Amino acid sequence: MTQIAAVHGVLPPHRYQQAEITEAVAAMCLPPGADRGVLRRLHSSAAVSTRHLALPLDRYAEVTGFGEANDLFIETALELGERAMVAALAEAGLAPHDVDLVISTSVTGLAVPSVEARLAARLGLRTDVKRVPVFGLGCVAGAAGLARLHDYLDSRPDQVAVLLSVELCSLTLQRRDDSVPGMVAGALFGDGAAALVAVGKDHPRAREQAGPRVVATRSRLYPGTERALGWDIGDSGFAVVLGAELPDLVRLHVGEEVRSFLAEHDLKPADVTGWVCHPGGPKVLEALDETLALDARALDLSRRSLAEVGNLSSASVLHILRDTLALRPPPPGSAGLLLALGPGLCSELVLLRW
């Protein structure tokens, strides 16, 4: 089984109350003189209190277009990505030259060479390090990235792999987008990064770590749901696709997916002591609660993360895993489930054992 050796999350320094962001978004996205009532109601119902942003709030109005926004993405992604990887490796007791594979993921900016390639020399990664940059998995990529690390380490059990997620959702904000999906996205998403270090079962660090191990994974696409979540990419950059049917799709598909996956390992939802769930939004969390009949506090850390930093896309589930390890570690030997949804529509499930 793959051993999770460390998880470290980082946030940009610019932190704002939700009400401050609401008024800035209104000024950039609504026509002059437009009623701000709908946007304010959407922001106040998003269950988000504060968020961290890549730029100072007043700087966003000065960004001229997709090219400048993407340049800012690369600059900030390198800073946050370096901080996350350096800290995660230090917490794992490993050095950059120990790393055999890096999977990097983002859906909020583009970089060629990719972020981990630009960081390699700065961090001291080996020149023969294997790299897999991933774009397009969206919010599911934190869970899917961990699952693919497990696939790799399962066949190379003496090696070290790192998952790096950097998401700067604020840089995708579309000016003059007063659509409901655009306003909902402007209410939910924040900026952040995370790095996860894992080792194979035969690596010396695997015997020294007390944290969770990956037992099994499952990936699933749900046909006919392609317009539920994603981007429309145009001259101005990334315009959000966010269907109102998303909570209903969770009820229709994800509950049964989770139950059948757990059943393969002789488990039921009630047997899971650590729920590490991506906080897609308050309605998605409510749908998970209902369809899985979870304990009242099962998703507390997901709701806490949503309130304090917003939805960080692929980085969120890694921040919540870090919080689980630090604040509410399950009993040794118990089962955990890491769960995220993404464009496709798709889900990724990772069964953990503490």
Active site positions, annotated:
139
3-state secondary structure of 179: coil
SS3 216: strand
- Could you tell me if 152 and 161 are in contact, meaning their C-beta atoms sit under 8 angstroms apart? yes
CA 52, CA 17: separation in Å to the nearest integer? 9
Is residue 26 within 8 A of residue 43, CB to CB? The reply is: no
Cβ neighbours, 10 Å, residue 132: 17
Contact 240, 281 (CB under 8 A): no
Q: What is the DSSP string of 57-76?
A: GGGGGG--SHHHHHHHHHHH
With beta carbons less than 8 A apart as the criterion, state whether 85 and 95 touch: no
Joined tokens for residue 35: 């009623």
DSSP state of 280: -
Q: Kindly tell me the sign of the dihedral angle through the C-alpha atoms of 54, 60, 66, 69.
A: negative
Cα–Cα distance measured from residue 32 to residue 54, given in angstroms and rounded to the nearest whole number: 26
Rounded to whole angstroms, the Cα distance separating 86 from 72 reads 21
Query: Is 156 exposed, middle or buried, given 0-12, 13-18 or 19+ CB atoms closer than 10 A?
Result: middle
- Per the DSSP assignment, residues forming a β-bridge with 349 are 218, 339
- Positive or negative, the CA dihedral 20, 241, 68, 306 is positive
